[in-house]
Structure 1
Amino acid sequence: MADNDFVPLTPREGAALGDDVYAVLGEAILRGTLRPGDRLRDVELAARLGVSRTPVREALQRLERLGLVEVAANRYTRVTEAHPDAYAHTTEFMTYIAGDAAILGLARATSEQHTDLIEAVDALIARSERNDGMGILGGTTAFYQLLIRATGNHVFITIMREAGLALQRNLQGWTQPDEDVELRTTRYRRLRDAVVARDGRAAESILMEPEPSALALRGRPSLG
């Protein structure tokens, strides 16, 4: 780490300082400012961020629970290497999570949330027609987030929010799969019909289809 990698934090009204430290360190891991194997010393980080050691320790403990940091007592705290199967396991996990969210979310979505979901699928259809790979990935993530919020399930929402950093890192190896544009776009249109009808089971079935598809966040992993 360079000396200017971090700057003192400005406390936000109503926000816990540990949350801010967690966000800064997590973002640094995602950007690669903190690389696998980098040592994390709470005294040093606290000095650079202009905070006490307590919020830094809290943040490191949360990152450890997510697997982004590993701790060997009295030896080191460091950024982890991604697990070799992290990408494949995360795409599989997210596909199943999205299916459950579709069943709950489409049944419970408010009128406003339902409209947002339809618009999110419309955006995916447009991006698929353009074969905009990164746009599809971002749009798929946004659609999943809307589904999860629409469930109204506090436990579901909290767990997925907390896991967000780990999921983002694990999905960084995504590459656009080589697939038939019209076939993929047709699947999005079928998904739209299911969303409009609030048919969670139909939406789940489409999300779970085995063909390689950006819709299910599937692609060829690049974990080198």
Structure 2
Amino acid sequence: MRREKRIIFSLILFSVFIVGCSVREGPDKQGQGLIAGAAKGAISGAIVGLHTASASGPGALIGGGLGAVAGSIKGLQQDILEEKLLYLSKEIERERKATEAQAVLIQQLKKQLRLHPTREIYPADLFFTADEARLSPLGRELVNELAKINKTRLPFSRFAIICFVKGEEGSSFANYLARERARILGDSFVTAGIEPRRIVAYGVVIKEPILLDYYDNPFRYYQAVEFVPLDR
């Protein structure tokens, strides 16, 4: 009997060791199922062993083994389902962000056709946060969508990224902000899949807004971003 108990205890320890060595993201239902199944199976097997007038030890050992296998399989199925749901959730969120960026681009394109049909000018606040050289979450999505467009529209042509910032002549901050925004946008387009040789990025300090939109904030285009094709 003692030998059988030691075998059962060793089986449970071995099960715990196997679960501990298995690295899975999120809740590990396979490991939980293995342990729970082993415990339930051992108890059930012991009861069956007693009812059949045989020793409870062998019944517990067999039940524990079968329960561990069944519990592990059930837990693995739950793990796979959770991973699929997590992947689907991430895909839906990615598509939602892309759709939002596309809606902004469509609205901006309509405005461009009304204000300046030959130039591709965007207010800088679509890309950047306040007076910073850091892309906003929407800005990153816009870069991804614009990169997709440029990959199919004249895929081998070069284009310039010009960042306009209002400032006095010789203003160190305005010059820094314009140059840094241009650099960050250029790097972001490269990250999004545009070849570095196709991009020329630089900043320009202006005293007047690059564009006037009478249906919008008149000061909005004091900071702007323009994309200019170079190989027409």
Which TM-score tier does this pair reach, normalised by the shorter chain? under 0.3
What is the TM-score of this pair, normalised by structure 2? Answer: 0.22
Which one has a bigger Cα radius of gyration?
Answer: 2
Answer 1 or 2: higher relative contact order, Cα 8 Å, separation at least 6: 1
Task: Report the structure, 1 or 2, having the larger strand content.
Answer: 2
